[in-house]
Structure 1
Amino acid sequence: MTPLNIHSAHRLSKLFLLTPLFLAPLMAAAAPLEIEVVVDVPKQQNQVAFVPFAGDTVMSPIISNDLGKTELKVTSENLPQQPRSSSELAGTLPVWQSIGIPYLVVGSSSTNRGKVTTEYEVIEVKSGRILAGKQSLTAKDNKESMRYAGHVIADKVYELITGTPGDFSGRIAYIEEELSGKNKVSRLKIMDADGENARTLAEVKGSIFSPAWSPDGKRIAYSVQRDQSYQVIYVQNVDGGGATALTPFSGSNLSPSFSPDGSKILFSSSFEGSADIYEISASGGQPKRLTSWPSSEVQPSYAPDGQSFVFVSDRAGFNKPQIYRYEFGSGRTTKLSNSGYATSPQFNSDGSQIAFLNGSSAAIMNSNGAITANLGNTGIDEAPSFSPNGKRVVYASKQGGKGIITIKSLNGGETFGKSGQGTIRSPVWSASPK
């Protein structure tokens, strides 16, 4: 008998061989009668069953919301029981297996002396196996720490299931602008990666440009222009302390980019004439000039390996900016982009893709310059920024007169937006603070 190809996750089947006694004489020389009995199990869209942690009301909604924004489909509804650990599944695992959800997340929290300890498990339902064993995290018993702990747990759960680190505990920096001309006010703000918990780091009467995170997520470099003065690049600690001027010299100093080890910063400046790319210690000092073409070179961004950087040049002609790569070892430059207008390049974490502005559309190309995704017109000519794991991007747009920060999944997860005051510009995603 030829075996049947049946997807066991969606249907169960059995074959029965029937040979009734009163038919035996007639069937002595006949082939056995085969009857297929099929029981259909509804196809389960949810991939993760999340049981809110016992003893917790703060972290569980954050974890569920974070995971639900990804390609994983998460549910906490209509579950057969509310276990707090794998040991409470004894004897009921077949019930969980019958509902067809591949993964189950359970846990509990306890408070002692101002600290909250959370233990949780990610269970592969089919086998009953606990992925990487029981996990534990301790946080201070306050809302800010608990919110961050929720994002960290979501990161770990996502990694245990997919093999890729999550991007929930990083933060997003952005610029918020109100009014215009001499009355213009700009604020540098940061928020959690779920669009919540926004706060202001700096506010100036004038303009703030191009924020950039340090690799450890603890510092931000950005450019400020007050009145009609030159743009000055500042470096500021995210969790306290004032901003320090990095470029106290003349010229338009813009587009800082931290090196992968955080020790240096690339930027563009016109203090020696036309705009060129310079490198300077992150603590200040004398900058080193890296480009000296007669054209303008701006918007540098380090490659993740630190061996090269991408930048924008108009050497191809006025209003035809293109993206180039500069190699530190040889000083060689190579043109990457092939569109009519390409600016604002930024690598993803492994250097395989570059987010950029393609004409008036947010787009992504591979490291050889071939466009792999066109995310559409943002309305304010803004390029996207990758999340730490490269699975999502963030970009600014304008809808109905309101500034919007859009977080878009690149692999089937949810796309959502967060509105702000006035115009939103230049959102950029940090790695998790270390």
Structure 2
Amino acid sequence: MDRIPAISARRPLLATPTRRHLLALGGAALAAPTLMVPAARSELVIDLRRGTFQPMPIAIADFAGESGSVVSGIIANNLKRCGYFLPIEKARHPEKNPPFDAAPQFDAWRAAGVQALVTGRVSRDGGRLRAEFRLWDVLAGQQIDGQQYFTDPNNSRRVGHIISDAVFSKVTGFGGFFDTRVVFVDESGPKENRRKRLAIMDQDGANVRYLTAGEVSVVTPRYSPVAQEVTYMAQRTGEQPRVHVLNIETGQRQVVGNFPDMTSSPRFSPNGARIALSLQQGGNANLYLIDIGSRTTTRLTSTPAIDTSPSFSPDGTQIVFESDRGGSQQLYLMGAGGGEGQRISFGQGSYSQPTWSPRGDLIAFTRQGGGAFSIGVMKPDGSGERILTEGFHNEAPNWAPNGQYIMFFRDPGGQSGGKLYMVDVTGRVEVPVPTPNFASDPTWSPLLTAAR
């Protein structure tokens, strides 16, 4: 059982306190202001649309109270890893413990080079944990966001992720991605006989847990866009590979389809009700669509080629896939009901593993050529191709739920193994994602608050 603990937001902390005018929190007035001075318009924003930016200097003050240091530490780590913020060292904080119910010393924070400041506190509210935060625009001298959350006392890490998402969204304009989990293939043992287990962790590498015991070899997991379910391909020794669906919360597993031949590359539809997959028959492979509830099967392609790696558009009307029908692996686009498909990749080398952004604006892919594997993106019509990162062996791009970051794995070769990395769509941010062993085939969950 892996139920997601509930976190509720009681009410936003909207008013902007000054040192003379304190706030009312949770309905209990701490002081009644007689006059509120209108705040200046906030300019606290990182414009990522042009792909050129400087990380924003931000300070994460130590949160007061129980588990406060845990929550503020998680926020600082998240914002640093995403590459869009530059958390200021605590030694440079002009206020070591700024009061939560009063405005900070803006002049002092400006002098320290800080543009944004996060303050907060964590306390007990009966049997619940209550966490509160404020986001300050230091240059404008005003609060621009604030919220309070209630949850189980053991759930402080998720509160830190949710506050990180709130700060990220307010400043960048994009949805958050910190309150998520990642399923991946954990690989251990010698190169010639790797033990491959399905594992799950928080997006920052914490709370690793194994979903399979290693009795079967697993590859290509993919998260449902709407639920805590994952589909993947598993194979026992001497048997054909089969596509499985695992409910992470209940542990229930089921085999999808009853095909006599090998099935692979499963991908959920946007509503999570269907799975597109590739079925190998003889020397070729075609795409099929399976309704999980009724088990109705629809054939989508019918060619003598190898069609595989289908990925739905977010609106469910189109599918991008890879095929060697033209002599090399390339990307093709077709309607969700099937058809011939239109080629969209025309660069140097071969293209594979397409995956559609949750925002619908880009398709990520792996490109192989010139002795290197690259992770890139292009628009759905094939235009605007950009390579984000390249190396000896990069594979398996998968999108964060906000469509701003891609996780993939990189294998340096030799007796070593794969490691996970995260790159943003500008290509300027690339950071490793910690795992306990070698790792491959990452797949990102939807926001946990949206997948209950």
Aligned in 2, Cα 1:248/1:45: closer, same or farther, shift over 3 Å? closer
1:100-141, Cα deviation, whole Å (9 max, x unpaired):
422111111111333211111111112222214x30111211
The equivalent residue for 1:185 is 195
- AA in 1 matched with 2:407: V
Identify which of structures 1 and 2 has the higher relative contact order when contacts are C-alpha pairs closer than 8 Å and 6+ apart. Answer: 2
- CA 1:209–1:118 in structure 2 vs 1: closer, same or farther (change >3 Å)? same
Q: What per-residue deviation string (whole Å, max 9, x for no partner) do you get for residues 53-109 of structure 1?
A: 1111321111110011121111252212122425243xx333333334221111111
Q: CA deviation at 1:261?
A: 1.3
Matches within 5 A, 1:128-207: 128-132=141-145, 134-142=146-154, 145-179=155-189, 184-207=194-217
Number of the residue aligned with 1:358? 367
- Helix, strand or coil: the match of 2:124? strand
Matching of residue 323 in structure 1 with residue 339 in structure 2 = no
Cα distance in structure 2, aligned partners of 1:51 and 1:215: 34
- 1:22 equivalent in structure 2: none
Aligned match of 2:74 in 39, 62, 66?
62
Cα distance in 1 for partners of 2:124, 2:280 equals 56
Unaligned runs of 5+ in 1: 1-8, 10-43
Question: Which of the pair has more CA radius of gyration?
Answer: 1
Alignment RMSD: 2.5
Q: SS in structure 1 opposite 2:213?
A: strand
Whole-angstrom CA distance in 1 between matches of 2:205 and 2:188: 20
Structure 1 residue 172: Cα displacement: 1.4
Within the alignment, does 1:227 sit opposite 2:240 as a pair? no
Letter in 1 for 2:269: S
Residue 58 of structure 2 is matched in structure 1 by: 48
Which segments of 5 or more consecutive residues in structure 2 lack a partner in the other structure? Answer: 1-42, 44-53
Bigger drift between 113-122 and 180-189 goes to 180-189
Distance 1:69 1:231 in 2: 37
Residue 376 of structure 1, CA deviation: 0.7
| 1:194 match: secondary structure | coil
* Post-superposition offset of 1:214: 0.6
* Aligned with residue 405 of structure 2, among 392, 398, 412: 392
Shift of 1:321: 1.1
| 1:363/1:383 contact within 8 Å kept | no
Q: Distance in 2 between matches of 1:87 and 1:356?
A: 49
Give the TM-score, by structure 1 length. 0.82
Given that 1:86 and 1:106 are in contact with CA atoms closer than 8 Å, whether structure 2 keeps it comes out as no
- Work out whether 1:405 is the aligned partner of 2:417: no
The CA distance in 1 between the partners of 2:136 and 2:151, in whole Å, is 23
Aligned to 1:112: 125
Cα distance in structure 2, aligned partners of 1:244 and 1:83: 53
d(CA) in 1 for partners of 2:392 and 2:293?
Answer: 35
**In 2, Cα distance between the equivalents of 1:396 and 1:148?**
25
Counterpart of 1:5 in structure 2 is none
User: How far, CA to CA, are the matches of 2:63 and 2:337 in structure 1?
Assistant: 52
* Residue 377 (structure 2) pairs with residue 377 (structure 1): no
Task: Tell me the distance in 1 between the aligned counterparts of 2:125 and 2:144.
Answer: 27
- 3-state SS in 2 of match to 1:384: strand
User: 1:165 & 1:182 partners in 2: Cα distance?
Assistant: 41
Q: State the one-letter code of the partner of 2:93.
A: L
Residue aligned with 1:426, SS: strand
Work out the percentage of aligned pairs sharing the same amino acid. Answer: 30
Counterparts in 2 of 1:242 and 1:184: CA distance versus 1, 3 Å: farther
Note the C-alpha offset of 1:190. 1.3
- 1:299 has 2:309 as partner: yes
Taking the aligned partners of 1:181 and 1:250, their CA distance within structure 2 comes to: 30
CA shift, 1:205, in A, is 3.0
Aligned amino acid, residue 336 of structure 2 = F
Mapped contact 1:48–1:73 kept (Cα < 8 A): yes
Code of the residue aligned with 2:360 in structure 1: it is G
Secondary structure of residue in 1 paired with 2:226:
coil
How many pairs align? Answer: 383
For 2:434, give the aligned amino acid. K
Taking structure 1 as reference, are residues 183 and 93 closer, same or farther at Cα in structure 2, changes over 3 Å only? closer
Q: What is the distance in 1 between the residues matched to 2:376 and 2:407? A: 12
2:263–2:278 contact (8 Å) kept in structure 1: yes
* Match of residue 256, structure 1, among 266, 280, 284: 266
* Contact 2:131–2:159 (8 Å) recurs in 1: no
Cα–Cα, structure 1 residues 188 and 335, in superposed 2: closer, same or farther, change >3 Å?
Answer: same
Q: Whole-Å Cα distance in 1 between the matches of residues 89 and 147 of structure 2? A: 20
> Equivalent residue for 2:14?
none
Compute the displacement of 1:404 (Å): 1.1
Corresponding residue number in structure 2 for 1:211: 221
Letter matched to residue 308 of structure 1: Q
Give the match for residue 421 of structure 1.
Answer: 437
